[in-house]
Amino acid sequence: MRFALVAAIWLILVGGLSLYTYQRERRLPPQMEAVVSRDAPGEAYTLEITPSFATAADPFALQGDPLAGATIVVRTAGRVLYRSDKPQQAGVTVSVHPVAGLVAGRNEIFLRAVPPFTAPLDHAVRVRLLQGGRVLLDETLWGEKGANVASSIPFTLTEAGEGGHEQH
């Protein structure tokens, strides 16, 4: 009788634990299947970057960082589209062509531009993405005085290569 009781308790304990583990795994969010994105032809696009300020080296950069010396850097999906280690003049547009790394579907461009750290005014960078002569994206990124302009712009490109800006 006692043996049966102990066996029953063991069964309840082990069974309960298994049931709990099973239920917990079921509640986990399903693993997303990787979405295969098709590359958009980079030659079709031009990226224009126009800072409202003269860019400068950042004395607050992390030393040894591969991008520490960059005064402007543009990335998409971790890939550097453009970098400049030289000071850029205020109001002068930098054109990047082709724009490699864009895909049909969701994209995001990250831009960081470094103003002089003693800059007395807020500042901005205008970013435009063009396909031929057509403007797909026209965004102005702002930074408070002294701070870097650092922001990302999400947008989608259709299979046909047309773009649309995603609102936050």
Partner 1 sequence: MFRLLVLLPLAILWSSSALAARDEAPRKQVVVASTTQIADFARQIAGDRLTVSSILAPGADPHTYQPTPDDVQIVLGADLCLENGLHLEGKNWMAALARDAGKKLVTVTRGLPPLAIRSSGQSVPDPHAWFSLTNAAIYVNNIILALERLDPSGAPGYRDRGRLYLQQLRVLDAWIREQVNRIPPERRILVTTHDAFNYFCREYRFNPENDYLSIAPVGWSTGSEVGAGMTPERHRQVVDSIRRARAQAIFVETTINPKQIREIARETGVKIGGELYSDSMGTAGSAAETYIGMMRENVLLIVQALQPRP
Report CA 120 to chain centroid distance, whole Å: 28
In terms of C-beta density within 10 A (0-12 exposed, 13-18 middle, 19 or more buried), how is residue 44 classed? middle
Count CB-CB contacts under 10 A for residue 148.
18
- Burial 103-132, CB ≥16 within 10 A → b, else e: bbeebebbbbbbbbeebeeebbbebbbbbe
Indicate which single residue of 4, 22, 33, 63 sits in contact with partner 1 (rule: CB under 8 A): 63
Q: Does 58 bind partner 1 (CB under 8 A)?
A: yes
Q: How far is the CB of 56 from partner 1 (least distance, A)?
A: 12
Q: How far is the CB of 28 from partner 1 (least distance, A)?
A: 20
Q: Does 118 bind partner 1 (CB under 8 A)?
A: yes
The residue (of 3 and 22) whose beta carbon lies closer to partner 1 is 3
Q: How far is the CB of 51 from partner 1 (least distance, A)?
A: 17
- Residue 87 CA to residue 92 CA, distance in Å, equals 11
Q: Does 64 bind partner 1 (CB under 8 A)?
A: yes
The residue (of 134 and 145) whose beta carbon lies closer to partner 1 is 145
Q: Does 65 bind partner 1 (CB under 8 A)?
A: yes
Number of residues binding to partner 1, judged by CB under 8 A? 24
Q: Give the CA count within 13 Å in the CB-facing half-sphere of 135.
A: 7
Q: How far is the CB of 40 from partner 1 (least distance, A)?
A: 30
Indicate which single residue of 134, 145, 154, 158 sits in contact with partner 1 (rule: CB under 8 A): 145
- Residue 121 CA to residue 137 CA, distance in Å, equals 26
DSSP 3-state assignment of 23? helix
Q: Which residue, chain included where needed, has tokens 């030659």?
A: 43
Indicate which single residue of 2, 24, 27, 79 sits in contact with partner 1 (rule: CB under 8 A): 2
Residue ranges in contact with partner 1 by CB under 8 A: 2, 5-6, 9-10, 13, 58-65, 117-120, 144-148, 150
